[in-house]
Amino acid sequence: MVFSLNFVSCLFRWPICLLLIFIVNFSAVSGPFLFDDFSNLADLKSVEQGVKSATDFVLEGRAGPTGRPVALVTFLWPEGVFPNEPLIFKCVNLLIHLLNSLLVYVIAKLIFVHVGLNKSQATIAGLFAMLFWGVHPINQSAVFFVIQRMTLLMTFFASCFLS
């Protein structure tokens, strides 16, 4: 099958946008744990020391009425790095943010096609929406406050549902 130049160029646009989002955001992953990261993740130390089981950590969360167990499960890996290595936790948050940005592209492209743009126009508009989402300052607290992974995961699951 022979692919047109337009198809190939469209195929490589979203990875370039993800790379740009990664470059813009990566400089901030070297920061420390902040604010409520410690109070919400303090029990990780008990899990690492064997005082508390991983199941107890996940099911006894204090964040919100449900304790947000899905998000707490994601903090169990990597084992033994809390509170000394925030970089790993922030890199995982950045990865989830990149996935969310890609989902924003998919949703935006679907919306733009639905409102009458052709595929090429919808692709370009979707890429702009993805870039805007990925580098917008309002999303930065969710990416770089480790405990805000809960917000990132909520966005991920809602976006998966919408796409």
DSSP the chain: -PPPHHHHHHHTHHHHHHHHHHHHHHTTTTS---TTHHHHHTHHHHHHTTSS-HHHHHHT--STTT--HHHHHHTT-STT-TTT-HHHHHHHHHHHHHHHHHHHHHHHHHHHHHTT--HHHHHHHHHHHHHHHHH-GGGHHHHHSGGGHHHHHHHHHHHHHH-
Per-residue pLDDT at 11: 54
Of all residues in the chain, what percent carry a pLDDT higher than 70?
Answer: 93
- With 50 as the cut, is the pLDDT of residue 2 above it? no
Give me the percent of the chain exceeding a pLDDT of 90.
Answer: 37
Q: Express each pLDDT in 114-163 by its tens digit.
A: 999 999 899 999 999 999 999 998 888 888 888 888 889 999 999 999 87
Q: What is the pLDDT confidence band of residue 68, given thresholds at 50, 70 and 90?
A: confident
pLDDT at 85: 86
pLDDT in tens, 96-108: 999 999 999 999 9
In the predicted model, is pLDDT for residue 4 greater than 50? no
| pLDDT number for residue 8 | 46
Q: Average pLDDT of 41-64?
A: 78
Q: What's the pLDDT score for residue 56?
A: 79
